Every structure is written in structure tokens, then in C-alpha cells.
Chains A and B, each alone.
Chain A
Amino acid sequence: GESVGLHLPTLSVQEGDNSIINCAYSNSASDYFIWYKQESGKGPQFIIDIRSNMDKRQGQRVTVLLNKTVKHLSLQIAATQPGDSAVYFCAEIYSGSARQLTFGSGTQLTVLP
């Protein structure tokens, strides 16, 4: 989930288990959401997006769920692999006026062997 300050929330899972990463977004008018994965020394990598007219979208091994009522977004990763270890950010935007994404502070996912 979201955090305040310099300490990222962390999630540790066993290899092969499913992971769920949560995000509380801030703007009730936001209508487009993206999950990014960021490995050390790299830029954020696009994983999956969802528009506000949907509440679920599936990709390869990943599913994003959107609950607009409580302004909550989650990323589910199936059969987590060591290569999934990274920081995961959710990002939101109100496409009607804004152009820049607003990012959460991220969650550190660690996959244990």
C-alpha cells in the first residue's frame, strides 16, 4: 500500500505463491491507472493499465482490480517468480485535464526461494 516518508512498504512471498500489491489512490476524478515495475538502476516498466469504466483487467500472470468506491487499486501476480522482485508503483491520471501521472510511493516485492 501507500506510505509516507522514506520507508517503502514491503511484501515478501515464496516463489510460486501469488502476490497481491495494494494501492490507495488520491483523486476520485482519476480515470486511468497504470502499474509499473521498477528494478534497481532501471526506469519504471509498464505492466498493465486499466480505465475507470472497468473493474478488472487481466494480463499475462497479472491482474489489476479497481474499486472506485474506496479509491483502491490492486495488482495480483500469479505464481510469483524471482524475476518479479522489484518496487511496484501505481500511477493515476485524470485524462480530462492532466497529462502527468501521479505516482504512489511504491511497494518493495521480494520473492523468497
Chain B
Amino acid sequence: GAGVSQSPSNKVTEKGKDVELRCDPISGHTALYWYRQSLGQGLEFLIYFQGNSAPDKSGLPSDRFSAERTGGSVSTLTIQRTQQEDSAVYLCASSLGSGGNQPQHFGDGTRLSIL
């Protein structure tokens, strides 16, 4: 499809396990973002990638969270030793260029539930 694709759509795991969430951005979009959305809340920024530049990790809540972007395209968000407070919807977005005045287009997210 032409939009941002995320997988899995749902993930249920036990506390303490590691999880990997995947994002395929829109083709040609050089900027990629991860956000987290808790129930009934707005979106919380996690991390931003632009081309080959060093990512902006300023939103990551702890060192259990990390992300990679391979080949300037697909990105993986990894959460190690998951905790119950990590339960949320994790949303990925992409945009053209690095300018802050480009609209970000979102995938449908991964709903993560930690038991």
C-alpha cells in the first residue's frame, strides 16, 4: 500500500519480555518518527530519524527503549524487559524531508499489552 505500515497490529506479552515493533514508512519519505499513545491521551514523541543523521532520541522514556532505522527505510522499535506501564499504542509516522513544516503521515499503530 501507499501508506505507513506497522506490524504487528497487536502484541500481548508477559512482563519482562522484549518486544520489537516494525514500521515501513511511505516510499520516498526521509523522516521517520515514533510516538506513543496511552488510552485517551494525545501522542507522546519518542524518537526521530532523518536520513543518515544521528537520531533524536530525546523522547525515549528509559534506556529499555531503543530504535534503529536500516537503509533509511524500515525502522524497528525495541522495548527490553517490558513493564506494565509500557502498555500503549505505538505509532509510527513519516514525512517528506527534514523541514518541520511537512505533514507527518501515520500508520495504524501497534497496540502493545503487557500482562
Contact = CB atoms under 8 A, between A and B. Distances in A.
Contact of B108 (A42, A102, A106): A42
A101 B43 contact: yes
Nearest to A106: B42
Contacts, number: 69
Contacts of A84: none
B33 to A, nearest CB: 6
A66 interface: no
Contacts of B41: 6, 105
Tier of interface size on chain B: 20 to 34
Contacts of A94: 100
Given A44-B43, A89-B42, A106-B42, A99 B107 contact: no
Interface of B: 4, 6, 31, 33, 35, 39-43, 45, 48, 50, 56, 59, 91, 93, 98-101, 103-109
